[in-house]
Amino acid sequence: MSQFFKIHPDNPQLHLIRQAASLLIKGGLIVYPTDSAYALGCKMRNKDGIQRLRQIRELDDRHSLTLLCRNLSELAKYAQLENPIFRLLKATTPGPYTFLLPATQEVSKTIMNTKRKTVGVRIPNNKIVHALLEMIDQPLVSSSLILPGADLPLLEPEAMRDMLGERVDLIIDGGPCGLEPSTVVDLVDSLPRIVRKGRGDIRPFVESTSPLDFCRRFC
């Protein structure tokens, strides 16, 4: 059976964050809360953890995963940010949004969409996640905890422990997260495009009706 930590969402216990970070650094796969739904995650270079994550979700190699970053400076190491996109992300992060962007050379093929050369990136608004990111000093590879055949993410950490067993190394109970995954916004072309409507206000991404209008707002 996987380990189970109950971590306070507003005041994360440092000793538990340290233990969770140690598991990640050693190659572990964990379940953790975000500002949208619960998610699966492992450190960025953990090929075994990424494979285990894909097996749990039943995702093939064509499905790109998401990198959770601490800030825009870190995010820019892994996704190409032109000035208008940088300003849009600055206005909407941290928050429950996943952005699809052209990947940099720092992103391995195990994470990106190899056909489009894109990567999903996200800066969550969750104190537990940020504490973990600071401790491991690198992004987390992440995917919403939606099991095969389900339409919604798992909600109850106790039920996750029963359903996942030893398929993950740790489950973090960080309180209620809700059933909506993040909103996914494709920023590869000249206008934002909503790929998946989830949690979060989509108005910042749909108010521009043309590339010129978008440029007027963010260029």
The reported pLDDT for the residue numbered 131 is: 97
The reported pLDDT for the residue numbered 114 is: 83
> Is the pLDDT score of 210 beyond 80?
no
**Best mean pLDDT range from 112-121, 145-154, 165-174, 203-212:** 165-174
> Is the pLDDT score of 161 beyond 80?
yes
pTM of the full predicted structure?
0.92
152 versus 219: the higher-pLDDT residue is 152
Closest to 179 measured CA to CA, from 204, 157, 161, 198: 198
CATH no. of 3-218:
3.90.870.10
> Is the pLDDT score of 18 beyond 80?
yes
> Which band of pLDDT confidence, cut at 50, 70 and 90, is reported for residue 174?
very high
> Which band of pLDDT confidence, cut at 50, 70 and 90, is reported for residue 204?
confident
The phi and psi torsions of 2 (rounded to 5 degrees) equal -70, 160
| Sheet with 39-43: strands ordered across | 3-6, 170-173, 30-32, 39-43, 140-144, 66-68, 118-122, 97-102, 183-186, 193-196
Instruction: For residues 130 and 132, give the distance between their C-alpha atoms in angstroms, rounded to a whole number.
Output: 5
Angle between helices 127-136 and 14-25 (to 10 degrees): 50
Instruction: For residues 110 and 101, give the distance between their C-alpha atoms in angstroms, rounded to a whole number.
Output: 16
The reported pLDDT for the residue numbered 63 is: 80
Q: Where are the domains of the chain?
A: 3-218
Q: Lowest-confidence range among 71-85, 125-139, 195-209?
A: 195-209
